[in-house]
Amino acid sequence: MLSRVADSIYWLNRYVERAENVARFVDVNLNMLLDAPSGMEQQWEPLVFITGDQARFKARYGEATAENILRFLTFDREYSNSIISCLCSARENARSVREVISSEMWEQVNSFYLMVNEAADVGAISDLHNFFPEVKMASHLFAGVMDATMAHTEGWHFGQLGRLLERADKTARILDVKYYILLPSVTDVGSPLDDLQWIALLKSASAYEMYRKCQYRITPQGVTEFLILNREFPRSIQFCLIEAERSLHCISGTPMGSWRTDSDRTLGRLRSELDYLTIDEISQQGLHEFLDDLQTRLNDVGEKIFTDFFALQPVA
Amino acid sequence: MLFDAYDPGDFFDELFMAPGQPRSEAELLVQRVNALTLDDLQQRQQTAQNALFKLGVTFNVYSDNQGTERILPFDVIPRIVPGHEWEWLEKGLKQRIYALNCFIHDVYNDQKILNDGVIPRHVVESAPGFLKPCMGLKPPNNIWCHITGTDLVRDKDGKWYVLEDNMRCPSGVSYVLENRRVMKNTFPHLFAAMDIAAVDDYASQLLETLLNLVPDTLISPRVAVLTPGAYNSAYFEHSFLAQQIGAELVEGRDLVVADGYLKMRTTKGLERVDVVYRRIDDDFIDPKAFRPDSLLGVPGLMEVYRAGRVAIANALGTGVADDKLVYAYVPQMIRYYLDEEQMIPNVPTYLCEDSTQQAHVLSHLDQLVVKATNASGGYGMLVGPHATEEQRAEFSDRILANPRGYIAQPTLCLSRVPTLFDDGLAGCHVDLRPYILYGQDIYVNPGGLTRVALKRGSLVVNSSQGGGSKDTWVVKSVDPNAQLPHDQQQGQ
């Protein structure tokens, strides 16, 4: 498969997944605010911290009002990680590989783009409650269409790899929202308010129901464990890493448990570390510090994939 | 009824002989449309356009940054070509393509036609499309023009003419295929009742044409479509065709010449490419052999090509036949190579490089169409009767400065087809571009792309200048007893 094509399928999936996850962590915040006691200050700035793009936000908008932040994250065409920009990029990538992906995939990413574009043209920030669920559904639809209409060969595995690495990164960031959201006082830790925030967080990862089936009581440790280490829930970080590694090995042809390329090695090492990690160890390290480190290592995996498969230099 | 008010006027109308009198092949269509209200028809048109937009059947507009994509405006009233007329056109096109291919092979090899004085040598050698590096080239089976889209027009009296041959990389065939797909949903019962020639085998025919270029000893040859990239105006078509024939779609940056072969960069290293269907003009394809500033091509490709280690369709150098001065000599070519008379005539052409003809052109600029010999697509031309005094003076100067660079033709009054507007149906001028493939045999896809000038009264059908398209129906025969079932009610 052409390196350029593999690269485009990988990024097509990353961008669709990214748009979905931006919708998710904005949605979790909206929901938390709805449950917050009146009089408590609305906290929107944490959302910008999570993206890691504070500087760009400050330069373009200055004040961190709800409206500014929502506009920045959803409809700002100048900001490369906004939902609309993600869809533009996803669609451009899809357009450049239309003959490789199925027509159904193209149609879905195209109508996804048109839907977001239309919402952006209307530009009504107040009406976003309906918009975010639509974005999530459109992304699921894309993943489903891809699974059901594209041969599960090399190109498909590159797509999976892109989607899963992006999802692992974003689940880490969604968990981090809780770190940044401040409770009114220390005594509120473990209070019903705290509890509501954890529930909202689970819901934003579509994890609430699955979590309940697996361990009834909602505790901070339980939630973080579920979203980081669970091996069966498809949005947990470890699940993403296991599946990403499987796809990577299908691509490289290396048997599981061994490595030939740098991508095999870095992803394999990260996955196996999580295999033997406990939630207590994560707490000792500090959840925020752990997540921060994880994001750096995921970026490293991405770079290795780029050098191993996309940046092929011709023999002179 | 919708067609009651339709007046074909003083033109050749493709569907009507006179007001209220449809041609026999169009009767069922007219009957069907008459059963609809204007709203119904407009709704169907809208549905069809939406379908095309969703399918992404779009072309890019270079100047426009925001929505860089438009669909080619599509009109739901098809153009009908009667079967017997089509048979004749098909024969005429095969004759023409065969002769043109002989010509191209000849001028790059023995140059018999020039040595025999049938075509003046300077006409060929001064054509910008004549490429010196191609001298002595012998492409597989001596075929040069594998894919052609010849532009045909009809005059006021219904007579067919060839307007131009597009021998390098004609575009538009994807619209033929996608328009048909959409039309089947728009008028399903008509397709059931009428014998409309299918167009869908184009992709298989194209693939066979390309595979015909590699020796049988090659077990699993690799075919690639070479595109300038996603920002090219015809990108949709490139990717569509690659998908339909299962070829790789490659850009110049995906390719590299290594070990004397053309190879592409894959996730598993370099892999060989055997056939290139190029959608890039000759002079951009190899910066080493042609334009050094080209970023689209592959350095060294020409050398691999000359060594016969990769096949290219269309062959490099075919552009020589696109020159409008060379075009004027096609009747001579047909006589020379086939000993036959041309079936579909050329539009009468005045050669400005001939002083007598030039004088005639200059004194009749208000009646003629002047065209630059090296341009196409409606660019670089003057439509005398519609031009201003200054524009005519400007062209007059240009002709005097460069007589080789211009030809002139009478202004044809193009035939018309009823076309849907907000307030009803009105006639619009059309041309026709059939697609011809030259592989083991010559194949002509039935019908072709009907381009329509959507500005009322306009004669320019090019998409870059406000044109649209229609489906083209080659109707084999009409069963006089055929009855249309009623369409089911359509929801909103």
The predicted structure's pLDDT at residue B483: 54
Buried b (16+ CB within 10 A) or exposed e, B199-208: beebbebbbb
Please indicate if any CB of chain A lies within 8 Å of the CB of B265. yes
What confidence score (pLDDT) does residue B333 get? Answer: 97
- B122 strand-pairing partners: none
* φ and ψ of B76, to 5 deg: -80, -15
Window 303-362 of B, Cβ < 8 Å to A: none
Contact B239 A99 (CB under 8 A): yes
Q: Which among A1, A106, A107 has CB closest to B267?
A: A1
Beta bridge partners of B368: B410
Q: Is B249 an interface residue toward A (CB < 8 Å)?
A: yes
Which of B226, B265, B267 has the most A C-beta neighbours within 10 Å, making it the best mutation to test the interface with A?
A: B267
**pLDDT tens digits along A176-187:** 877 776 666 666
Distance to chain B for A100, nearest Cα, Å: 7
**Higher pLDDT pick, B208 / A121:** B208
Position B63 scores a pLDDT of 44
B163: phi then psi, degrees, rounded to nearest 5: -90, -50
Sort out which chain A residues have CB atoms less than 8 A from B50's CB and list them.
none
Phi then psi dihedrals of residue B50, to 5 deg: -60, -40
The β-bridge partners of B255 are B264
The alpha carbon of residue B267 is apart from the nearest alpha carbon of chain A, in Å, by 5
Q: Do B55 and A103 touch (CB under 8 A)?
A: yes
Separation between Cα atoms, residue A145 and residue A142, nearest integer Å: 5
Helices within B109-249 (DSSP H only):
112-115, 121-125, 173-186, 188-193, 202-211, 235-245
pLDDT number for residue A182 = 60
pLDDT < 70 stretches in chain B: 56, 58-69, 376-378, 463-465, 477-492
Interatomic CA distance for residues B330 and B325, integer angstroms: 10
Q: pLDDT tens across A184-201, in order?
A: 666 676 677 778 888 888
DSSP-assigned letters across all residues of A182-234 = PPSSGGGTTSHHHHHHHHHHHHHTT-HHHHHHHHSS--HHHHHHHHHH-SSST
> Cβ contact (<8 Å) for A110 and B54?
yes
User: What's the rounded Cα separation, in Å, for the pair A305 and A307?
Assistant: 6
Q: Counting Cβ atoms within 10 Å, is residue A315 exposed (0-12), middle (13-18) or buried (19+)?
A: exposed
Residue A26 has what pLDDT?
A: 86
A100 at B interface, C-beta within 8 A: yes
Rounded CA separation A157/A250 (Å): 7
- Selected residue with higher pLDDT from A129 and B88: B88
Residue A75's Cβ-side half-sphere holds a number of Cα atoms within 13 Å equal to 20
Report ipTM for this prediction: 0.72
**Residues B269-298 pLDDT 10s:** 899 999 999 999 888 888 888 888 877 889
Amino acid identity at A100: V
Q: What is the pLDDT of residue B484?
A: 53
Contact B54 A111 (CB under 8 A): yes
Whether A71 has a pLDDT exceeding 80, the answer reads yes
What is the b/e burial string over B132-146, where b = at least 16 CB atoms within 10 angstroms of the residue's CB? ebbeebebbeebbbb
Measured between beta carbons, the chain B residues lying within 8 angstroms of A312 are: 265-267, 269
CB B370 within 8 Å of CB B408: yes
CA distance B335 to chain A (A): 43
**CB A312 to CB B265 under 8 A?**
yes
Contact residues on chain B for A3, CB-CB shorter than 8 A: 254, 265-267
A89-107 pLDDT, tens digit per residue, is: 999 999 888 888 988 999 8
Q: Nearest CA to CA, how far is A259 from chain B (Å)? A: 16
> What does the pLDDT read at residue B116?
96
For position A315, what pLDDT does the model report?
Answer: 46
- pLDDT score for B487: 52
The per-residue DSSP string of A50-110 comes to HHT-HHHHHHHH-S--HHHHHHHHHT-TTSTTSHHHHHHHHHHHHHHTTTTS-HHHHHHHH
- The reply to whether residue B56 touches residue A3, judged by beta carbons under 8 angstroms, is no
Entry pTM: 0.82
What does the pLDDT read at residue B492?
46
Strand B69-71 versus strand B74-82 pairing type: unpaired
In DSSP terms, B153 is beta-bridged to B161
The pLDDT score that the predictor gives to residue B66 is 44
**pLDDT above 70 coverage of chain A, percent:** 93
